Every structure is written in C-alpha cells, then in structure tokens.
Amino acid sequence: MAPDRRPAQGRVLDPDPRAFPWTRRVARHVLRRREGRSEQLRLFLPGLDRQRRRVAAVGFGDVHPRGLDRERVGTSSLLQFDGSVRRNPGVRPASTSGVIPAPSGTKFLAASAPEVAVVIPCLDEAETIGICVEKAARALIAAGIAGEIIVADNGSTDGSREIAAALGARVVPVAARGYGHALAGGFAAARAPFVIMGDADDSYDFLEIPRFVAELRAGADLVQGCRLPSGGGRIERGAMPFLHRWVGNPFFSTLARLWFRAPIHDVYCGLRGFRRERIATLGLRQTGMVFAIEMVLRAARARHAIREVPITLHKDGRTAHRGHLRTFRDGWRTLRFFVAERFRAA
C-alpha cells in the first residue's frame, strides 16, 4: 500500500516538489461547490500553531470571506503570514527580509510591480492547472522574484478557471480559440517586462523558472527551453511520442539552425521566457500551435539575443483527455510555415 502523503495536523506539507495533495484538494472542493449554495471554497492551512489555526475562505461572485479585503479577492497577490507559520525545509525564504512563504495550498497574490509574468494557456485542464500554478508560485517565492501568474483561459468548462483563481492566478478569458490566441491574450494582460510561458499539462516543471529569469536579467531577449539531449535536456520515458522525439522535432530544429541561424536544438519547446517589448515588435500572427515556432524564427531573423536552457520533460499529467497537439496536422502546418518564412526572409 502506498504511504499516505497527506500532511498531519499542524505539520508542513511534504517538500517533494511533485507532490501537491493540497492542489488536488482545492480542485475537488472547487468542482463540488461550483453549483453549491454558498459557492465558497475553504482551504485549511497546515503548519499553524494549534491555537492560531485559521481557515482562509476564497469567495466567488458576491461572496466575500471574512478577513479578506473585498477588492483583493480573486486577484493575484501574496498572502503573508506572521511567525505562526513554521518554516518549510523544502522552500527558501521569499526574500532577505525573512518572510517565510505560506504553506502549499494557500493563495498566491502577485507583487504590485511584478518583474516576471508567468503565462499559462488553458483549455479544460482541471486535472493539472492547479499543480502548474502552485509550482510557478513556489518558484517565484523561493527565488525572491516579484511576479504574477496569468492563466489565459480559452473557454474551459471543467472548473479550470475556478481552480486557478482559488490558488491566486489572474484568469484572463480569451474568446478566440487557439493556442496562439490564448498566449497573445495572456501576453497582452501581463504587466511585467519579462514573460515566462509554459503549458498547463504539468509536463514542464515550473520550478525551473528562476533559470530562465537569470538569462533574461543577463541580457537575453528570448530564452528557449530544450528538452532534447542534443541540447543538454532530458526526456522522461514515455514523455514524448517517438515521432516527435526522433523525427519531427530534430528535423525542424535543424531547419531553424540552417535556414534562420537560430541557436537552439528544440524549436517546439513551449517553456520559454522573453522580454515583452522585444517580442511585441515581431508582428506574430499565427493563432494555433505554429505560434511558438513563429516566435523563434522571427526572433532569430530579427537577430534577437537567444539563449537555450536545458530542461526536463515530464510525462503529461492529464488522463481525462489527450493533448491538443496533432502530429501530422500540426507537423504539416509547421513545414508550410517554415517554407513560407524562408522565402519571406529571402
């Protein structure tokens, strides 16, 4: 029998970065109470002293919980607790001021002047969106990065929006369907000069965000993640389809290097960071999966400073539905776009 990973009363959460029992609890409560009478989600926070145990209630609609500022409910900011929160050995302090990050499962609230915006496109990702938001929050807090988390929702109907909002992400509805449309909507809503984008399926580890931010601070315009071993990355067994790993991705990445002199080995990687004002000058127009390819090729052609960061690709955390990428359809669209851009560049 697998050990019970739920935290005991009065103890901090398991520091294992891939174990998020409270995220699952958030998801269950949101889905149960979406059509309930009170439409109110209560999160019991572990790690508080016995006499100071509290309940944080996150309200939806016109329901505003006691003890929370009405104007801040449903927005991104960072809840700060006093010394009653025990130090979690798995998380470093948020800053040199000695503020201890709240335990996992509490609501993340963004900085008033964020340096980094984490943008996550979402379409019916209730199984994994909570884990992604929580990892992004942990990464920002642990590295002392002033940030915000934006979920660009493309019309979810499974509770994804409520889960993300309950964990502190700012949910931006994007009516026009498509991966590119969703990302563009999230970028437009971002207030930070640096943007980190990543998928909502938990295949990318958002705990790696600080490495991308470090490259941006060092002067890079675009920081591309690399999952392929040829660029120093790592792929878990079963995390990437055979054709993607050994045929499509290496082929198109080679074309990007030969035709556009893009210094990358994984043109399809969706975990990346960039300077918002620099990307805004590229005139990106693609609305589907090719949007990510367009960003890399046009940045390379514009001679932007491009860096590559090796990352690990994990298995897709979804079980309810398969991913949105279609091998042959999107592969054909990518090839056509490469050829069109090649002649356009000439």
Average pLDDT over residues 60-75: 30
Average pLDDT over residues 22-49: 45
pLDDT of residue 3: 53
Average per-residue pLDDT in the chain? 76
Look at residue 42 and tell me whether its pLDDT is greater than 50.
Answer: no
CB 168 within 8 A of CB 135: no
Structure tokens at 112: 């008033």
Look at residue 330 and tell me whether its pLDDT is greater than 60.
Answer: yes
Measure the CA angle with vertex 106, ends 81 and 188; round to 5°.
Answer: 110
Can you give the length of the chain in residues?
A: 346
Look at residue 345 and tell me whether its pLDDT is greater than 90.
Answer: no
Look at residue 308 and tell me whether its pLDDT is greater than 50.
Answer: yes
pLDDT of residue 137: 97
Look at residue 226 and tell me whether its pLDDT is greater than 90.
Answer: yes
Look at residue 52 and tell me whether its pLDDT is greater than 70.
Answer: no
Look at residue 146 and tell me whether its pLDDT is greater than 90.
Answer: yes
Least confident of 2-11, 130-139, 213-222: 2-11
Structure tokens at 272: 């990346």
Distance CA 201, CA 105 (A): 19
Per residue in 148-169, pLDDT (tens digit) is 999 999 999 999 999 999 999 9
Per residue in 229-238, pLDDT (tens digit) is 999 999 999 9
Look at residue 283 and tell me whether its pLDDT is greater than 60.
Answer: yes
pLDDT of residue 235: 96
User: Which stretches within the chain are classed as H helix?
Assistant: 21-33, 129-143, 160-166, 179-189, 209-217, 242-243, 249-260, 276-279, 290-301, 327-345
Distances from the Cα of 248 to the Cαs of 228, 243, 265, 268, in angstroms?
Answer: 12, 6, 12, 9
In this structure, which topology does domain 21-345 adopt according to CATH? Spore Coat Polysaccharide Biosynthesis Protein SpsA; Chain A (3.90.550)
pLDDT of residue 346: 52
Least confident of 93-102, 127-136, 248-257, 332-341: 93-102
Look at residue 332 and tell me whether its pLDDT is greater than 70.
Answer: yes
Taking the model in full, what pTM does it have? 0.70
Look at residue 198 and tell me whether its pLDDT is greater than 80.
Answer: yes
- Amino acid letter for position 100: I
Higher per-residue confidence, 308 vs 23: 308
Higher per-residue confidence, 339 vs 36: 339
Distances from the Cα of 194 to the Cαs of 85, 210, 222, 309, 321, in angstroms?
Answer: 31, 12, 10, 16, 32
- C-alpha closest to that of 144 among 95, 106, 203, 187: 95
Per residue in 93-142, pLDDT (tens digit) is 333 333 323 334 568 878 889 999 999 999 999 999 999 999 999 999 99
Pairing between β-strand 147-153 and β-strand 170-173 as defined by DSSP bridges: parallel
pLDDT of residue 288: 85
Q: 19 by DSSP, 3-state: which? A: coil
Average pLDDT over residues 292-318: 95
- C-alpha closest to that of 155 among 114, 189, 124, 109: 124
Strand partners, 318: none
pLDDT of residue 339: 93
Q: Per-residue confidence at 21, pLDDT binned at 50, 70, 90?
A: low
Average pLDDT over residues 181-197: 97
